Amino acid sequence: MTRLVIDNLNFSYDDTDAARNICLSVDKGEFVGLIGPNGSGKSTVLKNLYRALKPDSGKVSLDGDDLFFLSHKAAALKLGVVGQENDVPFDFLVEEIVAMGRSPHKKLFDIDNEHDKYIVHHALEHLGMANMAKRNYLHISGGEKQRVLIARVIAQECDFLLLDEPTNHLDISYQLQIFDFVKRLGVTALSAIHDLNMAALYCDRIFVLKAGEIVLQGKPEEVLTPENILNVYGVRCDTRIHPITGKPAITFLPSGKL
Amino acid sequence: MSKSNLPRGAFNRANPNMPVIIVLLLIIAVISLLLCVGLGPVTVTPGNVAKILLSRIPAVGSAIPRSWERLDENIVLGLRLPRVCLGLIVGASLAVTGVTMQALVRNQLADPFILGVSSGAAATATLGMLFGVFAFFGEYSLSISAFIGSAVTIIFVYTISRVRGRVNISQLLLSGVAISMIMDGVTRIITLSAPNALGLHNAAFWMSGSLAGAKWGYLTLPLAVLLICMAVLMINYRGLNLLLLGDESAGALGINAGRLQKLLVLVGSLMAGVTIAVSGTIGFVGLMVPHFTRLLVGGDHRRVLPISALLGGILVVWVDVAARMLLAPEEMPVGILTAIIGGPLFIFLLKRGSRDKKGW
């Protein structure tokens, strides 16, 4: 079943095209990756989906509904976002930040009840952060902040996640933990991913962006070939299917050697 | 700030006991009212103040023996009580305006005075007063003209300081300074070119703020506006919290950020306008009070809004007492005192902000 369909999406910042003729679809339960060099438009595409940016043209439908006609609240019940914006210049506890994920479920005069508290606690526990619930969000590390935001999107309880490089600034153990976690949730996800090996490990399908356009798409082993990577990123590498993971493993080659 | 030295008890940052805190602050507010009504060039004892006040309550009034001077009664009921009540309302409004503007620009340094909103309100209010520009609004023309000034200034400062969808803090502070200078200049020109003496409402009043000359009639509109705005803000407390995460995150969590921000501009300028129309510019209350409130109960607006209102009222009432006692029988404008207290805190926050790189 197809959940998200992007049809011919275009977006430009002032004069420069940042996303051109983007067409992609995500099926139920799939983990789809968006890769590409810096500035290729990965974030731009995602921001158009969660309405931080307004597309110049194009249609996006989620479960058959036109996404841009849904209210913010209705969209937030289906679509959870982990963006790159993670600084909060105000005094909040970790658990308060996570509890904000409950907002779309709340009516005007509702206050947080036991059920919400349970979900918040549960989400923090899943990320191994239950002991940090009462810590001040201002004073935790960047990696911890990122995990808090993942906990928040879990508390939001939606079954479609948009992730904008969710493992930036994280130690390798947390990178693996977060992707493992999203996979285990069994949700549908569309994620911008910086690290090609991570993309190879976790994505069911990959779309490659270059200068605002989708230039390649397919399974990781089809997309992540040395020729494609040279074309898109301009670096030489060697890829082979790793015997344990069964996924492509990419080794980049320094320019001096070979 | 480590976790271990958080205050315990009701004012426990991690788990504040809201009913206890609110009752405590209400009691402090009532005690402040009784004390402050008595304090001034002519002192009335708190006991007499309480008796005079009780004697005006229909049911119990007749049971109170009259043991006070006629003069005391006149001072308490005619001069001091409206002044103290106005102080409570003005303080609460300014503090809540500060909270509103901080959510709008996503920075703790926002305050109606610092962002030039007070000056804008003062300029249009003087204009309205002198030339009757807004006379067609009738009784409330002064408040409405001040509201127009504050709304225009907020929108202006906000638009200037928004760079690529984010409020740039140095642009915000600098444009606030520039606009308040322009507006203060306008106010001065208007008052200097005034054909008649403006009585109490002269340039000095607008620029340094005072609660002297408060009348019962001054209280109605600011109180009504405070209650309505407070209700609107409390209903939207989740939205206010989410705005602090940034527009994008707020949108992703189901808030129409643009619409909420417009609402905040309206609410903030309404409160700033009607408050400034009756009290002139009293600076830094909107900066100091939310800051200390957050230290006590954290950043959640469901707690910050009511606590700020109560603390703001109490603060302004006491600073006003100081204003009329320190140089007695001369009166100091209360705005000068809040500036002397609040200015250093502003500098401290500014330094801390640039050191931690948090919130910048």
Using the CB atoms, write b or e for B204-220: b if 16+ within 10 Å.
Answer: bbbbbbbbbbbeeebbe
For testing the chain A interface, which of B249, B305, B352 should be mutated: the one with the most A CBs within 10 Å?
Answer: B249
Position A220 in a domain:
yes
A31: distance to nearest CA of chain B, Å? 20
My answer on whether B53 and B154 are in the same domain is no
Q: Which residue has the tokens 């935790």?
A: A140
Specify the CATH number for the domain of residue A93.
3.40.50.300
Distance CA(A253)–CA(A233), nearest Å, equals: 13
Amino acid at B220: T
Amino acid at B95: A
| Average pLDDT along chain A | 90
pLDDT in tens, B177-189: 999 999 988 888 8
The size of the A-B interface in CB pairs under 8 A is 98
How many domains does one find in chain B? 2
**What percentage of chain A has pLDDT greater than the value 90?**
65
Q: Answer whether B200's CB lies under 8 Å from B238's CB.
A: no
Using the CB atoms, write b or e for B221-250: b if 16+ within 10 Å.
Answer: bbbebbeebbeebeebbbbbbbbbbbbbbb
For testing the chain B interface, which of A91, A97, A117 should be mutated: the one with the most B CBs within 10 Å?
Answer: A91
Position A258 in a domain:
no
Position B12 in a domain:
no
Evaluate the CA torsion angle A80, A84, A90, A96 in order and state its sign: positive
Backbone angles phi, psi at B68, to 5 degrees: -125, 165
Question: Which residue segment(s) compose the domain that B74 sits in?
Answer: 24-79
User: Is the peptide bond preceding residue B329 cis, with omega within 30 degrees of 0?
Assistant: yes
My answer on whether B181 and B55 are in the same domain is no
Q: Answer whether A83's CB lies under 8 Å from A50's CB.
A: yes
Residue B359's pLDDT is what?
42
Q: Answer whether A10's CB lies under 8 Å from A213's CB.
A: no
Mean pLDDT in residue range B108-123:
88
Position B15 in a domain:
no
Ramachandran area for residue B246 (φ above 0: left; ψ -120 to 50: alpha; else beta): left
How many domains does one find in chain A? 1
Residue B207's pLDDT is what?
72
Question: Which residue segment(s) compose the domain that A247 sits in?
Answer: 2-252
Q: Which of B248, B253, B359 sits opposite A89 (nearest CB)?
A: B359
pLDDT in tens, A159-195: 999 999 988 878 888 889 889 888 888 899 999 998 9
Q: Answer whether B115's CB lies under 8 Å from B101's CB.
A: yes
Position A202 in a domain:
yes
My answer on whether B313 and B208 are in the same domain is yes
Distance CA(A113)–CA(A101), nearest Å, equals: 14
Which residue does chain A place closest to B244, by CA atoms?
A88
pLDDT in tens, A206-242: 999 999 999 999 999 999 999 999 999 999 999 999 9
My answer on whether B131 and B280 are in the same domain is yes
Q: Which residue has the tokens 């849904």?
A: A70
My answer on whether B52 and B97 are in the same domain is no
My answer on whether B59 and B98 are in the same domain is no
B129: distance to nearest CA of chain A, Å? 40
Residue B356's pLDDT is what?
53
**Interchain CB contact of B249 with A (< 8 Å):** yes
Amino acid at B285: V
Is A92–B300 a contact, with Cβ atoms under 8 angstroms apart?
yes
Mean pLDDT in residue range B134-140:
71
- Residues contacting residue A220 through CB under 8 Å, at least 6 positions apart: A33, A199, A200, A203, A205, A206, A247, A248
Mean pLDDT in residue range A53-69:
91
